[in-house]
Structure 1
Amino acid sequence: MVDERRRPRLQDVGDEPDYRFTLANERTFLAWIRTALSLLAGGVAVVQFLPDLGPRSVRLLLGFVLVAISALLAGAAYRRWFRVERAMRLGQALPGTPMPLMLSLGVAAVIVVSVVLMAVG
């Protein structure tokens, strides 16, 4: 028995796009995932390997912010990949994304706090 309310699989939506576009979309997804992993590594490094950066509570906060940005970015990367793939299959315009702005603002905030901590310490 087929559940009619179930969302169709992505492969069943629209037409198969040119494989080059699908692979480019996948490469973009993987680039966002690599960025998320780098932020995760940076968050761990701030907490574990930079004792001179400031009080432990501030390092924990900076590390947590980096890890949180990493988690949000990883989740948003999949959502973006899915939306772009669906748009290509349906012949629609590619959807916009706030990811670059959010990532830039988050990393800029961490940089500003880090510079202040280095200047004070």
Structure 2
Amino acid sequence: MTEPPTPRRWPRRVYDHGTDPDPRFSLANERTFLAWARTGLALLAGAAALDALDLPLPDTLQALLAALLAVAGTLVAGAAWWSWARVERAMREGRPLPGNPAMVVVLVALGVTGLALAVASLTRGAG
């Protein structure tokens, strides 16, 4: 008796290598991907809110901060996918797990936005 053919899974650059890890690890990797995807979505929502609200900030600063958050949200979503694929393939090949650069993107975007909003708030209150 022959075994049924194994279905092709996508992306091949991940699934065509190594052997299947314990499903719990793959599912944990998927949950991490979804958490990063939610973070990217939250950054995009923050960008939309910052753009839509009538804040006591110069219009240029408000638009730049909204653009920064939008770019960061898009980068985080892309990095989430890239990180998922790298971790899944590393698990399949028995290699050490790689790091995730998305954390730096989030920290920089939120740090710059928070600092700019704080400075704008302080200068508005002093003036």
Q: Which bracket does the TM-score occupy, shorter chain normalised?
A: 0.7 to 0.9
Q: Where in structure 2 are the equivalents of 1:101-112 lying within 5 Å?
A: 101-112=104-115
| Residue 31 in structure 1 maps to residue 35 in structure 2 | yes
| Residue 47 in structure 1 maps to residue 51 in structure 2 | yes
**Which TM-score applies when normalising by structure 1?**
0.87
Q: Match of 1:12?
A: 16
Paired amino acid for 1:106: A
SS at match of 2:55: helix
Paired amino acid for 1:12: D
How far apart, in 1, do the equivalents of 2:90 and 2:13 lie?
14
Unaligned runs of 5+ in 1: 1-6
Aligned length: 114
Bigger Cα Rg:
2
Paired amino acid for 1:91: G
Q: 1:111 to 1:19 in 2, by over 3 A?
A: same
Question: Displacement, 1:115?
Answer: 0.8
Is the 8 Å Cα contact of residues 42 and 66 (structure 1) preserved in structure 2?
Answer: yes
Question: Displacement, 1:46?
Answer: 0.7
**Percent identical residues:** 42
Is the 8 Å Cα contact of residues 53 and 114 (structure 1) preserved in structure 2?
Answer: no
How far apart, in 2, do the equivalents of 1:84 and 1:97 lie?
9
How far apart, in 1, do the equivalents of 2:16 and 2:115 lie?
47
| Greater than 3 Å deviation, 4+ residue runs | none
Q: 1:106 to 1:95 in 2, by over 3 A?
A: same
Is the 8 Å Cα contact of residues 48 and 66 (structure 2) preserved in structure 1?
Answer: yes
Paired amino acid for 1:27: R
Question: Displacement, 1:29?
Answer: 0.3
Unaligned runs of 5+ in 2: 1-10
- Give the root-mean-square deviation of aligned CA atoms: 1.5
Give CA deviations for 1:80-116 in whole Å, capped at 9, x if unaligned. Answer: 0000000000010001222212321221111000111
Q: Where in structure 2 are the equivalents of 1:54-73 lying within 5 Å?
A: 54-73=57-76
SS at match of 1:52: coil
